[in-house]
Structure 1
Amino acid sequence: MSIAVTKFIVAGVTGSSAMLSEAIHSTVDTGNELLLLVGMARSRLPADAMHPFGYGKELYFWSLMVAVLLFGVGGGISAYEGVRHMRNPVLLTDPHWNYIVLGLAMVFEGASFGIAMRAFLRQKGDAPFWRELRDTKDPTTVTVLAEDATALAGLVIAALGVYASHRWDMPVLDGAASLLIGLLLAAVASLLILESRSLLVGEGIDRDMAVALRQIVQDDPAVQSAGMPLTMHLGPDEVLVTLDVRFHPESSANEAAGAVERIERNIRARFPQVSRIYIEARLMMAGSRTVT
């Protein structure tokens, strides 16, 4: 927050629109971090009568709020300030304070980005970087990485805008830098909104994992056939799985019950993120009748 306050002061002293956009960006980032902490705390609440599957999706909701805040406040106000400054350019005074504050901000944001990146690399293991970034269901990881990367890009744009504006005595370039920062924030926020929306409305697991789950079921000797599982992410490390399983006609009820236990055990051994499994077991009888 102190960086944001410093940026506001320097923006007021020098008249830099790009610096003002960076101040707004830093303020929004501070608010976003608080919202993510709220989401993380809420998502850990135990299940209750009103929320029998727990509160894991709280994290998706608050991540959506972060993205909306980044889009509306960060991107919207920065773009507005850029356009306003381009229409009514104001000559910069001494730009040196801009460079000092932007340089310090790059150091802090770079350190934050490095910490977030190391945490993500530990989390992804041997999986390809871009694939894991696309497939991860932990919105905090994606949001922090996206915000830090955007912050660094914004700082570079602001520095170039201040330099070009002062170097060629064209204050309109400072406004253009502010507009570009706003568009960058809006673009990143739009991607985060799409991801959060998908998870909130009940995104399932990827097809490869679904096929692997079905194969685990079909590999059980008591199973005659199984449909594709119906799944939904309840949180970053919580997946709901429902299965429609048909057992061989000669299987007894006890044998089917034992098979259900084996299937659940094998699924959780391979996919520990599967927290809830519901199996609709069907015993094939004579003719085409089934007993469930």
Structure 2
Amino acid sequence: MSASGGTKAIVAALGANLAIAVSKFVAFAFSGSSSMLAEGVHSLADSGNQALLLVGGKKAQREATPQHPFGYGRERYIYAFLVSIVLFSVGGMFAIYEGYEKIKHPHELEHWYWPVGVLVFAIIAESFSFRTAIKESNELRGTLSWKEFVRRAKAPELPVVLLEDFGALVGLILALGGVGLALATGDGVWDGIGTLCIGILLVLIAIVLAAETKSLLLGEAAGLEEVEKIEAAIVDGDTVTRVIHMRTLHLGPEELLVAAKVAVQHDDTATEVAAAIDAAETRIRAAVPIARVIYLEPDIYSESEATKGADPEAAPGGPAPAAH
């Protein structure tokens, strides 16, 4: 996995969640707090999720094969989608069930200092993990807002870790609130309500992750900035005069497929056209290094055909209509 995959953030989150999970289960054993149990399962699920992301990153590095000629880059998307499923089922649904049971059958907390101490420790640990994820994300997101970064990021690991850490921090605050109200009122129902809120939060985060990862699995095009760089790199103004139409597709977070039909001069020889195509491919790779699979088809641009209407296959926001 490349540095842009957020390996440092994943490892930091994994270490924090394992330590926090152990402390939460210990606190549950001594206090009987359902919030602690739900949070312990949440941290355990998060640890498994980070392990899945690391496995996905490793598998994505495999070389292409005749059966998979474009490689295994999308393995990272598959494992990120599995993370959303785990977060929904193991984390969210378990917490909702546990919260419902605690509301129906509340009992007073015992040894309250255990859950309170563990929650304070967990908030500190998760804050460090969240800070690492934010720091790595800032190196990639540029001027994008956090919402835009999560929606547009092609590498799934950092958005996953960001949302998980954010959900963990909010969940810890909810758990602390539930435990605090249960202690203040002597009514264990508040502990159950806190647990229920944690479950709902995790389900919502899992749904967002699933929706964003599904889009990546289906295949997303390059961003507008990259498309503009590729189009500018293709045209040399001599042999290659314009882009007739173009398609781009992410084969993985750091691997882009580019397929385009380009206009060449009608009186150029085959040798000149071939040399121009090779030069265009070199310029594309220099402008957008992740463009690793490039197919350029030369054609003759016809103004009369272009005036008949836009290319029905042209992508929205793509180059001007053309024909041959």
Partner of residue 206, structure 1: 223
- Contact 2:243/2:261 (CA < 8 Å) preserved in 1? yes
CA deviations over 1:70-100 (Å, ceiling 9, x no partner): 0111001001111111122122123111111
Partner of residue 11, structure 1: 28
How does 1:1-292 map onto structure 2 within 5 Å? 1-124=18-141, 126-130=142-146, 131-283=148-300
Structure 2 unaligned segments of length 5 or more: list them. 1-17, 306-323
TM-score by length of 2: 0.83
Structure 1's 2 and 284: CA in aligned 2 closer, same or farther, altered over 3 A? Answer: closer
CA deviations over 1:27-86 (Å, ceiling 9, x no partner): 101111111111011011111111111111111111111111001110010011111111
Structure 1's 203 and 31: CA in aligned 2 closer, same or farther, altered over 3 A? Answer: same
- Contact 1:214/1:227 (CA < 8 Å) preserved in 2? no
- Contact 2:230/2:287 (CA < 8 Å) preserved in 1? no
- Contact 2:133/2:162 (CA < 8 Å) preserved in 1? yes
Question: Offset of 1:162 from its aligned partner?
Answer: 0.4
Q: Which runs of 4+ in 1 moved over 4 A?
A: none
- Contact 1:220/1:259 (CA < 8 Å) preserved in 2? no
Larger mean CA deviation between 223-232 and 101-110 belongs to 223-232
> What is the distance in 2 between the residues matched to 1:227 and 1:77?
53
- Contact 1:213/1:229 (CA < 8 Å) preserved in 2? no
> What is the distance in 1 between the residues matched to 2:35 and 2:246?
51
- Contact 1:247/1:283 (CA < 8 Å) preserved in 2? yes
- Contact 1:246/1:284 (CA < 8 Å) preserved in 2? yes
Specify the code of the residue in structure 1 equivalent to 2:50.
E
Specify the code of the residue in structure 2 equivalent to 1:175.
G
Question: Offset of 1:253 from its aligned partner?
Answer: 1.3
Question: Offset of 1:212 from its aligned partner?
Answer: 4.1
Quote the RMSD (CA, aligned, Å): 2.1
CA deviations over 1:155-199 (Å, ceiling 9, x no partner): 111001100111122221111111111111111111111111111
Question: Offset of 1:208 from its aligned partner?
Answer: 4.4
Question: Offset of 1:283 from its aligned partner?
Answer: 4.4
Specify the code of the residue in structure 1 equivalent to 2:143.
A
Specify the code of the residue in structure 2 equivalent to 1:101.
V
Question: Offset of 1:129 from its aligned partner?
Answer: 4.2
Specify the code of the residue in structure 1 equivalent to 2:184.
R
Identity %: 36
- Contact 1:210/1:228 (CA < 8 Å) preserved in 2? no
Structure 1's 232 and 284: CA in aligned 2 closer, same or farther, altered over 3 A? Answer: closer
Structure 1 unaligned segments of length 5 or more: list them. none
Specify the code of the residue in structure 2 equivalent to 1:193.
A
